[in-house]
Amino acid sequence: MICNNVQTKAVVTVAEMARMCGLSRARFYQLQNAGVFPTPLYDVSTRRPFYVEEAQKICLEVRRRNCGINGQPVLFYAKRGGSPSASEQRKKRVAKPKPTKQYTAIVDAVRSLGLKSTTDDQVAVAVKSLFPNGIEQIQQSEVVRAVFIELQRQNSSK
């Protein structure tokens, strides 16, 4: 369990006390305001709240026993095991490479000729089927003409 192997220190902050108990700061403050956990002491000069070693032991005992210092039973959710959290899943995702817009000029030209719904993927497929050796050595106007005719032919056969 969380509380059995946690080492206390001379003084800890509220955030660190919440971590020691396995709770978020917000939940720790909620339970503190409800009288489940003891209130912290405050440094006179800085007004920062802190827990001395004795108060740390009380907080850890409350967590271990599921019974607050006010005598009320408290249910704590156990940490989830097995599946990674949502933030861990986001970190592991690899961004899909976006398709390069190498045919943008051709798409724009074909759209201006009247095929308004032409996509980059359609142009890429048409270019690969019409020019298997590539379009580097061919004038762009010839490529646009051939792609336009191919896409128009595909649209009329549907």
As beta bridge partners, residue 42 has 49
Query: What digits encode the pLDDT tens for the residues 54-85?
Result: 999 999 999 999 999 999 999 888 766 555 55
Residue 101 tokens, joined: 């817009």
Residue 128, pLDDT above cutoff 60:
yes
Q: What is the pTM of this model?
A: 0.49
The DSSP call for residue 67 is B
**pLDDT number for residue 2:** 53
**pLDDT number for residue 1:** 46
> What domains lie within the chain, and their CATH numbers?
11-78 (1.10.1660.10), 104-157 (no CATH)
CA-CA distance, 55 to 11, in Å (whole number)? 9
Range 135-139 average pLDDT: 86
| Radius of gyration of the chain from its Cα atoms, rounded to whole angstroms | 33
Question: Which residues have CB under 8 Å from 2's CB, separation 6+?
Answer: 20, 21, 22, 63
Identity at 16, one-letter amino acid code:
E
